[in-house]
A and B are shown apart, each in its own frame.
Chain A
């Protein structure tokens, strides 16, 4: 069954390109259907089974097997929700049918990669699917420059992203080669065995692979590409990238490796702790000094990814639960904030926060939803972000990493500071004359924002219930 998660998006891409040119507007609806199935699959699939799946065409033809578990379900749900949001945003912000058609296509290609990342248990397959996602994203970032008369900004963002991505690919492939040399196989099981046997070659392999994932997930010191790529990309692409692409190809792969190979072994754990703490602080302080709304959100993403790395360095079981939860919360909230940014860009034509102010009374829904998401990411109870941050701090406290736990708590204050500054500059204060005629944005942009905000609130309020499901599901 889980093979379908790879085959259906792929078949949908083929189908989309068989459509006659006049029917291309239908492409978006096909993409919607696939993404809805994706979100449903996260619930319907009985994850966590062992042994051979009952029906596996990929296994029969290529000898390629996937093994989904609770964590995969989490990523599938995120991908479905964020993908639908991104497509809705695309309907309102990309003007030409042609652009929307390309967007739907590339989202589906990226979806093949994301689903693969969710389910594989092999270092090389992981690399392949990360690369599939990356290639689709390269084109997505540059999407704006297909239109005549646009500048080269989008191409510059794509170029930076490509250069760093290539470095990441090279590091990951080297890691595969070293693992092959050390364990004679590329599966995560083999890596775990070689690490347990304290083979230096295996440690080199894991260190290289982690570096590659740090680039993909934009952890400090490899965060340079992220803000440029997010800012240069058109609005729906930044929703999609911030919500799921960077998270799946960098952070989820990191989660997978930490949970199935590292096993809390010492050097790996310390690397994650240090990189995580540095990323949190550098990202938060860079976010404080930004004027462009999307850039601030991008650096906030960098900072929050640091929390996930930090959680993986903590208590093994609790850390993975906390990381998975923070992954979900952040994907939902950041997709929503980029949707809010898209709404503001559409109504005002600018993202410079110094020119804004007092928009709260004009755009109440956008202001309200963005307040929910920012407060959730900053970790205010009873929103969802509070619980995942609490679990992260507990995971660190449990293994006696008090210093890092304190960093995590204090950095929350910086998060609150830059998000309050965003709220104040955009939605409160004195309104500029120019924005006198600004109205609330179209329902096409505020409905997905409200839906995602409701998810954040519901998960926060009903957290004990949700936790039970997660623990019961073996996440």
Chain B
């Protein structure tokens, strides 16, 4: 079954796209690892938002709610692990600059 795409979808979609691009930009434009982490968070938030919109438009809010709660839990775990890696870097290098980390050869 295919649902009709209402006009409101494009409004939501524009907002999602802006947030998404913002997240990507935030990840790419900086060399600071904490800022990259913030970029990742913005990116995940934009997708979570889109998931809610999709549930709303498809008339499956209950399902979308379950999905979003699961996503939030997973996201917290991932962020803790990333923060741990950043902390490890900072302790060993005394710097948060990603460009210092190019020891590996392709």
Contacts and interface: CB of A to CB of B under 8 A. Distances in A.
Interface of A: 124, 128, 131-132, 135, 138-139, 142, 145, 151-153, 155-159, 162-163, 166, 169-170, 173-174, 176-178, 180-186, 194, 197, 199, 201, 227-228, 231-232
B85 A138 contact: yes
Given A180-B54, A182-B2, A156 B81 contact: no
Contacts of B1: 183-184, 197
Given A142-B88, A180-B54, A227-B106, 13 more contacts: A128-B70, A138-B78, A155-B89, A155-B92, A156-B104, A163-B36, A166-B78, A169-B44, A180-B55, A180-B63, A184-B1, A185-B60, A197-B1
A181 B85 contact: no
Q: State the main secondary structure of chain B at its contact with A.
A: helix
A135 B53 CA distance: 27
B47 interface: yes
Contacts of B33: 159
B104 A232 contact: yes
A145 B81 CA distance: 14
Contacts of B48: 173
Interface residues of B, number: 41
B74 interface: yes
B43 A228 contact: no
A255 to B, nearest CB: 23
A142 B7 CA distance: 47
15 contacts: A139-B84, A151-B103, A152-B88, A152-B101, A153-B104, A159-B89, A162-B85, A169-B44, A180-B51, A181-B3, A181-B54, A181-B57, A184-B1, A197-B2, A228-B104
Closest 3 CB pairs of A and B: A177-B54, A180-B54, A181-B54
B77 A145 contact: no
A176 B81 contact: no
